[in-house]
Structure 1
Amino acid sequence: MKRRYLSLAATGAALCLTAVALTGCGTLAGNNEVTLRVVAADYGDNPQNSSTGYWKDLAAAFEKDHPGVKVEVSVYSWSEVDAKVAEMVKAGKAPDIAQIGAYADYAAAGKLYTADELLSVQTEADFLAPLADAGKVKRIQYGLPFVASTRLLFYNEKLLADAGVIPKDGKTPWQPKNWAELEAASKKLRTAGVKTPFAVPLGREEAQAETMMWMLAGGGGYTDNEEAYAIDSADNIKTLEFLRDKLVGQGLTGPVEPSKLDRQAAFDAFTRGEVGMLNGHPTLVKQAEEKGVEFGMVALPSADGTEHPAMGVADWVMAFKNGHRKESGAFLDTLFDAKNVTAFTNKYDLLPATTSGYRAMEAGTNGSAPELKTFLLALPNSRLYPVGKKSWAGVSEDVKQKIGKSVQPGGRPAEVLEEIATGARAAEPR
């Protein structure tokens, strides 16, 4: 299998499928009430905009239309939700539905329903084809793409202008050509007194994403052109050595060491005007705008200035075989209804995983923030995590635990990457 890139050219085929009517509302559970247990990740950055409210409203609407079915939703932060579900599964108490970061290990263990066992044809056909393909194990779809995002380099326009990195006219967009320019800009920011010239969050919350962004920009990635693990490649080693020597080692990454800096903490510092540059996803747009930060967004440059794929991320929904197939399927049809998809993606400034949602955002008819089109345009050529590998959940956890220390002064990237790669290959024999 060649390297998987998102290509929207295939999505048209999905729309050509004949849509069938969704099953009507009504009692699914017969005379016995069924309780669906749902575990979901929190996309909010504070208690006021927690995802709990969205799921609560969705559950209430579903219960009203489906007498006899109750929905109990537990929402956890991204730093703990995957581990929570893993603990539940290990204890023999898997939720009926989980919205988390990886699915393939559960699919490989035979614990999940397939997409066509759950969804109406109309719902299943609406997924963006490349995302649906990424949800497959041995050509069978188990992972249902919930939302998508791409990543861009954010920069504080005022801080960069005051440091002399960009003109103060406010009209000239900045596009650094390579890592040497990032280093030079970071040094100017430090000289100008910026607390954190370049934030590199390699804490537990999303170290696997920050790592992948830099790996891709360095010419590497978690896998090679044949989709085999290549975590300890020469390109990846050089990438982490750059972070260690040129950014962390020169005091350009701020007072909190990368291994202890979580993504949201870095975002919060950016919205306070304390960070010059950092890699971010669409939810940072609204957070920064609400705090009055003037910022720009550009592609993270590659090490040598050549083109490279951006990172794309899809978060996943899956249904465990708990004997509630029909009820879970009905709830998932509701979850992926167009109005509910739009409500969630607009609330958190994310990209839809459905063809109908993509086209509405592209046309500007779904009420989404105009800035999201920059991320949307990066989606077609983005590269995803190797989520189809049953070992990915464990590898991702390994990265979260170990990668941050590799870029500290005295860290040994080659040894850390080799250790992670050895475990990955052992868990995923070819």
Structure 2
Amino acid sequence: MRRPATTASIALTVASALTLTACGGSGGAEVAADAKQTLTVWAMGTEGEKLADVAKAYQKTHPNITVKVTPVGWDVAHQKLVAAAAADKLPDVVQMGGTYLGEFADMGVLEPVDTKTVKEGDFFPAAWDQVSYDGKAYGVPWYVDTRVLYYRTDLAAKAGLETAPATMTDLRTAAEAYQKKAGTKWGLSIQPGGLDTVQSFYPFLYSAGGELLTKDDKPVIDSAAAVKALENYGSYFPKGLSAKSVRPGYDVTKDFNTGSVPMFFGGPWIMSLLDDNYPDLKDKWAIAPVPTDVSSVSMAGGSSLAISADSEHKAAAKQFIASLTNAQGQADWYERTRDLPANKAAWETGELATDANLKIWRKQLESAKTPPSDPKLTEITSKVDTAIEQVTQGRSSAKDALDKAQSQIEGLVR
């Protein structure tokens, strides 16, 4: 995800966003759900492309509704959204990335969700946390993802490893064995620094019992649990178990294929990439839950669907979102995209209920945590990114780096 735009960049991007926002709501009288109308929708990346097909099918059963889907690239999504919000020109329905919602809810540009009709208990806890801000829900979970451990089973055999690492101690032992006995260049791929390094760090932090912020937005990145997690994370770099630098846009699957990297943490889309791009790897890799420290906890990502507070088509927007986020809609979306359903009932039938790998994803989702929905989250995580890099590059101890980050974050959330 991108960092929030500055005031100057908002001004610069308003003009470029108008071509997308011209069809947004104007804040006038609301239109009834059964009236003839056009519903405007922004969706990001691959989802934006796939959603157009779903919209066509929806229109066949709702002939009074024209759904106009505008795909927006993730690389420009945040700037487009900020510019549209500043101009009061958000579309009727907008996809919210996992770290976006708190920021836009805080702006007052999103319609609160009616929790009498959209039930929290239908969704994974981490998915619902992503749509919640200041005690209210401002979106409906659409899909969710998390991170699990990918590992080379053929190289594990050479390294004398009979099972996947079950604990963080096992993970370190496995990394060393891969390198020494199986001849891999690295033991584990984790991000050494730069933008969003914190996402690579979350499984270590959460599994150790650490957090960025408490539920009442108090920074706790200097806790004993967080220091322990960063000491563990940083320990992979001094002796070359993990690379101290990676090129921009680094694709770990290439090194996973060659065997240079035998283990990494990745999301569900990686499975399709490996199957499609490296068919010779079939039956040579597997996935496992995040190794346990105090517990096994991974980060949760994904997206939700929100309605603009200024939309004139809220009734129709609610119906469209409901069709995408109920169990049937999410099972269909999984078939189209392989995005993991946020609605738990979608996992009760078909491949989602029977596939062995998908059972691992579901188990990890049950305990996964979402980063806090703080409007300054990207500023907060940038401080943690810096702290992690200071440790991986040997420039600071974990305690000193996190003490500094704690002080900086306290200044942001006061």
The normalised TM-score by structure 1 is: 0.73
Asked whether the 8 Å contact 2:352–2:358 carries over to 1, the reply is: no
Give, in whole Å, the separation in 2 of the partners of 1:372 and 1:87: 38
Asked whether the 8 Å contact 2:33–2:316 carries over to 1, the reply is: no
2:96 to 90, 94, 99: 99
Task: Name the aligned partner's letter for residue 81 of structure 1.
Answer: A
Asked whether the 8 Å contact 1:150–1:376 carries over to 2, the reply is: no
Q: Could you tell me which residue of structure 1 aligns to residue 273 of structure 2?
A: 287
Task: Please give the secondary structure, in 2, of the residue aligned with 1:198.
Answer: coil
Q: Could you tell me which residue of structure 1 aligns to residue 142 of structure 2?
A: 146
| Corresponding position: 1:249 with 2:231 | no
Give, in whole Å, the separation in 1 of the partners of 2:120 and 2:290: 33
Asked whether the 8 Å contact 2:145–2:340 carries over to 1, the reply is: yes
Q: Could you tell me which residue of structure 2 aligns to residue 332 of structure 1?
A: 321
Task: Please give the secondary structure, in 2, of the residue aligned with 1:111.
Answer: coil
> What is the root-mean-square deviation in Å for CA atoms of aligned residues?
3.5
**How far does residue 27 in structure 1 lie from its aligned partner after superposition?**
3.7
Task: Name the aligned partner's letter for residue 385 of structure 1.
Answer: P
Task: Please give the secondary structure, in 2, of the residue aligned with 1:173.
Answer: coil
* Deviates most, 326-335 or 81-90: 81-90
Asked whether the 8 Å contact 1:240–1:407 carries over to 2, the reply is: no
Asked whether the 8 Å contact 2:41–2:91 carries over to 1, the reply is: yes
**How far does residue 319 in structure 1 lie from its aligned partner after superposition?**
2.0
* More helix as a share of residues: 2
1:351 to 321, 340, 344: 340
Give, in whole Å, the separation in 2 of the partners of 1:225 and 1:125: 18
Report Cα offsets for 1:354-394 as digits up to 9, x if no partner. 1321333xxx465774311112123333322222x333344
250 and 161 in structure 1: CA distance in 2 versus 1, 3 angstrom threshold: same
Asked whether the 8 Å contact 2:152–2:286 carries over to 1, the reply is: yes
282 and 231 in structure 1: CA distance in 2 versus 1, 3 angstrom threshold: same
| Corresponding position: 1:221 with 2:205 | no
| Corresponding position: 1:75 with 2:63 | no
**How far does residue 26 in structure 1 lie from its aligned partner after superposition?**
4.8
Q: Could you tell me which residue of structure 1 aligns to residue 297 of structure 2?
A: 309
Report Cα offsets for 1:317-337 as digits up to 9, x if no partner. 222223232343233123224
| Corresponding position: 1:184 with 2:173 | yes
352 and 69 in structure 1: CA distance in 2 versus 1, 3 angstrom threshold: same
1:269 to 255, 258, 273: 255
Give, in whole Å, the separation in 1 of the partners of 2:154 and 2:116: 50
> What are the within-5 Å matches in structure 2 for residues 7-406 of structure 1?
26-29=34-37, 34=38, 36-40=40-44, 42=45, 50-64=46-60, 65-67=62-64, 69-77=66-74, 81-90=77-86, 92-96=88-92, 97-101=94-98, 102-116=100-114, 121=117, 124=119, 127-128=122-123, 130=125, 131-132=127-128, 135-162=131-158, 164-166=159-161, 172-179=162-169, 181-191=170-180, 192-201=182-191, 206-224=196-214, 228-244=218-234, 246-254=235-243, 257=245, 260=247, 265-290=251-276, 291-292=278-279, 293=281, 294-302=284-292, 305-324=293-312, 325-360=314-349, 364=350, 369-387=355-373, 389-396=374-381, 398-399=383-384, 403-404=388-389, 406=391
Asked whether the 8 Å contact 1:39–1:95 carries over to 2, the reply is: no
129 and 341 in structure 1: CA distance in 2 versus 1, 3 angstrom threshold: closer
Gaps of 5+ in 2: 1-31
Asked whether the 8 Å contact 1:270–1:288 carries over to 2, the reply is: no
Q: Could you tell me which residue of structure 2 aligns to residue 5 of structure 1?
A: none
Report Cα offsets for 1:403-428 as digits up to 9, x if no partner. 44542232564455345434443443
The normalised TM-score by structure 2 is: 0.76
